[in-house]
Amino acid sequence: MPILRLVVLLGLFGLQGCSTPNIKSDYQLEKSTGEGVVIGSVTYGGKLSEFKVFYRAIPDGKAAFFKAGIGQVPPFPRNDFSGTGATGELFSSALPAGVYEFFAWGIHSGGAGTASTEPFSIKFTVTAGQPTYLGNFHFVPNRRLGLTVTGAVVYHRSEAERDLRVFKRNYPSLAAKQIEMLSIAGNGSPISGSYETKLYMAPLTY
């Protein structure tokens, strides 16, 4: 198997950003902080890959992402939805009040990187003191190299009943808060159907 040139995945695709951490279990949501909480999930099929959805503040904020899965060996990813038939992670993060958009997705593993190439924009508003549900991003693999996922169809849909059940269990101090719901256009429709894959080391095939 040929040795492939090592490249930096995020720079290669022009997607640079940091993973957004979840709030602590005892987080107190107060309007005076200027922050709101966004809630949602990233779920997927496949094994050895990390799945990301990128967002930024409008008009010129820096990119960041929510993620699920692990793109390295050993693949022991967290699963917040065991027993539901889904695999993935809940995100529940504090963001400054403002208008944001989801604009790209990516898949990263030990052997390859894939990123969306078709522009899209899913806008959402963060309101100080308010939790907002943003929906579920579900990755359905449609191309693989061994254990590595190198292509997928990504769906944006509502899984509010499932996701908010986990949210209220994990954050009892916020369970009584009224949660705003993002209106999801074409609920369950694919987003950004085209993508590009780059190999930057030999994929795992065992």
Q: What is the mean pLDDT of the chain?
A: 87
Name the residue with tokens 């080391």.
201
pLDDT computed for residue 198 by the predictor: 86
When pLDDT is cut at 50, 70 and 90, the band that residue 32 belongs to is very high
- Which domain range does residue 138 map to? 9-14+34-199
pLDDT computed for residue 204 by the predictor: 45
Q: Decide if 28 is inside a domain.
A: no
**Overall domain count for the chain:** 1
Q: For the residues 199-204, what does the mean pLDDT come to? A: 58
Other Cβ atoms closer than 10 A to 81: 20
pLDDT computed for residue 72 by the predictor: 78
Q: Decide if 44 is inside a domain.
A: yes
Pairing mode of beta strands 131-145, 35-44 = parallel
Closest to 41 (Cα-Cα) out of 84, 78, 92: 92
Residue 76 exposed, middle or buried by CB count within 10 Å (0-12, 13-18, 19+): exposed
Q: Decide if 174 is inside a domain.
A: yes
Q: Decide if 129 is inside a domain.
A: yes
Question: CA-CA distance, 94 to 130, in Å (whole number)?
Answer: 10
3-class DSSP state for residue 112? strand
Strand stretches in 49-185, DSSP E = 49-57, 64-70, 88-96, 98-108, 112-116, 122-126, 131-145, 148-157, 180-181
Q: Decide if 206 is inside a domain.
A: no
Query: What percent of the chain shows pLDDT beyond 70?
Result: 88
Closest to 140 (Cα-Cα) out of 149, 131, 128: 149
Q: Decide if 21 is inside a domain.
A: no
pLDDT computed for residue 175 by the predictor: 95
Q: Decide if 135 is inside a domain.
A: yes
How do residues 88-108 score in pLDDT, each as one tens digit? 999 999 999 999 999 999 998
Other Cβ atoms closer than 10 A to 185: 9
Q: Decide if 205 is inside a domain.
A: no
Query: What percent of the chain shows pLDDT beyond 90?
Result: 68
